[in-house]
Structure 1
Amino acid sequence: PTPAPDASIPGPAAGQSTTIRMPKFSGRVYFSYGQKLVFKLTTGGLVQPAVQNPSDPNRNILFNWSEYTLNDSGLWLNSTQVDMFSAPYSVGVQRPDGSTATTGKLKAGGYNAVLNGLRSQSGGWGNLIQTRADGTVLRALSPLYGLETGALPASVLDDYINRVWQKYTSATLTVTPFADQPGTKYFGRVSGGVMRFTNSAGAVVTQFEKPDASSIFGCHRKLDAPNDQVRGPISRTLCAGFHRSTLLVNPNQPDANADNFYRDGVTDHYARVIHSQMSDGKAYAFAFDDVGHHESLVHDGDPRQAVITLEPFN
């Protein structure tokens, strides 16, 4: 890897703002405190920060990022905690009528409340928090990276997974993946350790081996979600149900009622504490947190400007 050209822009002082022009693109806006992030290039493209790797040059830098798509159809801008929870910020978009939609803002005291919530949760969840040698908290890794680094045990979700697989050996899991297509339903049953989904005609359309925690936290591997109209939507729904621990209490998925989320003792406590501290309850705490529209996203087809607000830590 070779150093990437320095494309950094000095950030605003407290209470001030900096205006930049955004290209039509799908990408990220990174922001860091105290020092610039290190970016490098390889023949495969840009090497982005990967702080789950202890040797990453950005491991001890306090930073975060927002993700966006800007094209001829408008702007989609979100705050994300899919990889980590770190420096707090919110996002907003100004509409043609001058009104502004915002999301991603923590409650007062929410930043420390998330960290304390992880620390107080048994089972190793506090091990997700990374600090600098001087004691400064830098971030909490996502559970997926917690598994990769050994912060969380690989068996962290086994009890819930086993109970789900057992339940649907004798019950049917009905998935209605498209809110605007209530007639499109798939029916899942476990047999021989495999959950098979059939359509309304009784034909098998896809199947899933029993997932492990990594497959669930990453919504990949045994819960891979291709960009198609059958397996991907079913997998997305399963993934959200496992994260939110709704699969045992509701055989009709997705369950879009946030009051039902994270009720089981074995659940994604990282997502649970983040959502609990958001002003509007919305966050992107895992890849398919948009199932049921619980994601922290703003969109407008004809945006006037977008805002990323770096929020106070306290």
Structure 2
Amino acid sequence: MPHTLTRGALPLAAATTLLGGLLALGSPGRADAAVPDTIPLKITNNSGRSEPVYVYDLGTQLSSGRQGWADADGVFHAWPAGGNPPTPAPDAAIPGPAAGQSKTIRIPKFSGRIYFSYGRKLDFRLTTGGLVQPAVQNPSDPNRDILFNWSEYTLNDAGLWLNSTQVDMFSAPYAVGVQRADGGTTTTGHLKSGGYSGFFAALRAQPGGWGNLVQTRSDGTVLRALSPLYGVETGALPANVMDDYVNRVWQKYTTSTLTVTPFADQPNTKYYGRVSGNVMNFTNSAGTVVTSFQKPDASSVFGCHKLLDAPNDTVRGPISRTLCAGFNRSTLLVNPSQPDATADGFYRDAVTNQYARAVHAQMADGKAYAFAFDDVGHQESLVHDGSPRQAYLTLDPLS
């Protein structure tokens, strides 16, 4: 199911994106659903780190549409009015478990994020429109030197959708899980042994500026790697980092056809792409042009936005999602029928999303949300159940 690109990270001085803007990962709900108003979330601290952990449950209350936070009992609190410049948000921190211990809180019917931080509380602010999220690509962001991460979730009448995400950054590792109605448990997000350090080593060894995505603290602590989208936006990655591959794709489909079958359950719904000049036009089976794309730049590719915008419709959005996945995984030259069914050929070209390649290579099950539409072809790190008994968040070692 569609994954929302979480573009909430903005400089505090220019923040306009709200946490409440996250779309629900699930369906609108069922009248006959038996999902309670809150479910338990068991947080286990296997990080091996001695600092205190702080947990936050922030999002949009689905019953009211209001933005706010939930306390450890799952009780909702609406944000007060913010200001311009942004004003400090109320302290929504929940003390987390100490190293080697677990703590269970309750999470309500929300669409939002579970943040966790080590050593220091996060600094959240409120504008007149709502919550400002951390923007660690901004050198002046007050959260830049804090080791933290987050998971995204939606709990509604249709069940729980809970993922681990690296769309914005790769940082403190964690896994998510759900105990299903049948009593079994599904988990995803664990790294391989040595995967955390292995990811950073792979990124730093990659020529072309990819190592510039890594951020460290003055004491030498490795904090995170920014996504390549933020790398391009901040100048850490060159703006032309994907040009060679995009140019080759444009050349190929000037004389051949790219076939997109965006829905696995609708194999007869196909669209056909051909390039004319700077534009790739897609036609339906009747030969009618249904949408067109300008040649994308690296920002459009890495962010799956701008020239690869994906509206929530039944034509352009699904085609754009497929194109975005093909560009990031560098499969468009080797397979003219998209999307790809397996991951065997992903990230093989010399010009590819090296960040996403390194993330997936270090995941124990190979699954991750390394870019916005990494769920194309079911490569995402997502757990779901229609009648969840319990959710899990496991903080893993930074090794």
Give the TM-score of the pair, scaled to structure 1. 0.99
Q: CA deviation at 1:22?
A: 0.5
Which residue of 2 is the match for residue 97 of structure 1?
182
User: Once the two structures are superposed, what CA deviation does each residue of 1:14-67 show, in whole Å capped at 9, x if it has no partner?
Assistant: 121111110101000100000000001111100110101111100100000000
- The within-5 A match list for 1:254-265 is 254-265=339-350
- The within-5 A match list for 1:1-314 is 1-314=86-399
Q: CA deviation at 1:257?
A: 1.1
Give unpaired runs (5+ residues) of structure 2. Answer: 1-85
- Could you tell me whether the CA contact under 8 Å between 1:27 and 1:68 is conserved in 2? yes
The sequence identity of aligned pairs, in percent, is 81
Question: SS of 1:26's equivalent?
Answer: strand
Q: CA deviation at 1:230?
A: 0.0
Give unpaired runs (5+ residues) of structure 1. Answer: none
One-letter code of the match for 2:366?
G
User: Once the two structures are superposed, what CA deviation does each residue of 1:60-98 show, in whole Å capped at 9, x if it has no partner?
Assistant: 000000000000000000000000000000000001221
Q: CA deviation at 1:277?
A: 0.5
- Could you tell me whether the CA contact under 8 Å between 1:89 and 1:309 is conserved in 2? yes
Alpha-carbon distance in 2 for matches of 1:284, 1:139: 15
One-letter code of the match for 1:135?
G
Q: CA deviation at 1:134?
A: 1.1
Give the TM-score of the pair, scaled to structure 2. 0.78
Alpha-carbon distance in 2 for matches of 1:106, 1:206: 39
Alpha-carbon distance in 2 for matches of 1:222, 1:248: 19
Alpha-carbon distance in 1 for matches of 2:358, 2:378: 18
Alpha-carbon distance in 2 for matches of 1:21, 1:107: 29
One-letter code of the match for 1:67?
E
User: Once the two structures are superposed, what CA deviation does each residue of 1:145-185 show, in whole Å capped at 9, x if it has no partner?
Assistant: 00111110001000000000000000000000000000000
Once superposed, which parts of structure 1, at least 4 consecutive aligned residues long, lie more than 2 Å away?
none
One-letter code of the match for 1:249?
V
Question: SS of 2:282's equivalent?
Answer: strand
Give the number of equivalent residue pairs: 314
Alpha-carbon distance in 2 for matches of 1:165, 1:80: 30
- Could you tell me whether the CA contact under 8 Å between 1:216 and 1:243 is conserved in 2? yes
Q: CA deviation at 1:9?
A: 0.6
Alpha-carbon distance in 2 for matches of 1:143, 1:298: 25
Alpha-carbon distance in 2 for matches of 1:9, 1:177: 41
One-letter code of the match for 1:107?
K
Q: CA deviation at 1:11?
A: 1.1
Alpha-carbon distance in 1 for matches of 2:239, 2:127: 32
Which residue of 1 is the match for residue 82 of structure 2?
none
Question: SS of 1:285's equivalent?
Answer: coil
Alpha-carbon distance in 2 for matches of 1:193, 1:153: 22
Question: SS of 1:202's equivalent?
Answer: coil
One-letter code of the match for 2:93?
S
One-letter code of the match for 1:100?
T
Alpha-carbon distance in 2 for matches of 1:289, 1:7: 31
Alpha-carbon distance in 2 for matches of 1:312, 1:188: 45
Alpha-carbon distance in 2 for matches of 1:175, 1:151: 33
One-letter code of the match for 1:304?
R
Q: CA deviation at 1:256?
A: 2.5
Deviates more, 1:66-75 or 1:255-264: 255-264
Which residue of 1 is the match for residue 45 of structure 2?
none
Question: SS of 1:169's equivalent?
Answer: helix
Alpha-carbon distance in 2 for matches of 1:77, 1:120: 32
Question: SS of 2:192's equivalent?
Answer: coil
Alpha-carbon distance in 1 for matches of 2:395, 2:164: 11
User: Once the two structures are superposed, what CA deviation does each residue of 1:222-257 show, in whole Å capped at 9, x if it has no partner?
Assistant: 000000000000000000000000000000000121
